[in-house]
Amino acid sequence: MHPLPNEELPAVVHYARQHGIEYLVVDEFFSPTRPHVAFLLEEDRFPEDLRFLHEEKASNGRKVRIFRIEKEDVSGPAPPVE
C-alpha cells in the first residue's frame, strides 16, 4: 500500500505509474483531505487513465471505488510530481 500524493489526479496517476502501482482505491473517508480525487466517487465518467472496476459500500456505509490505472500513454509529457 502506498500513500496517495496530495496532488491533482494527473500527478497521482504519474506517481502511481512510477512506483508500479496498478490500482487506485478511493474511499469517502479521504474525500475531505483529497478533494482533487473525491470527484471519482460521484462521477460516472472517468479519465482515460483510469478504468472503473468496482464499487462497494463499506460496513460503515462509506462508498469505496476501485480503479485500474491504465498503461502509460507515451505520446505526451508526464506532469511533475513534487
SS3 26: strand
Q: Percentage of the chain with pLDDT > 70?
A: 88
Tell me if 50 sits within 8 A of 24, measured CB to CB: yes
AA letter at 39: F
CA dihedral 19, 24, 30, 36 (to 10 degrees): 80
Q: What is the grid cell recorded at 80?
A: 511533475
Q: Please, which pLDDT band fits residue 71 given cuts at 50, 70 and 90?
A: confident
Interval 17-41: pLDDT, tens: 999 999 999 999 888 888 888 899 9
Rg over CA atoms, the chain: 13
pLDDT for residue 30: 84
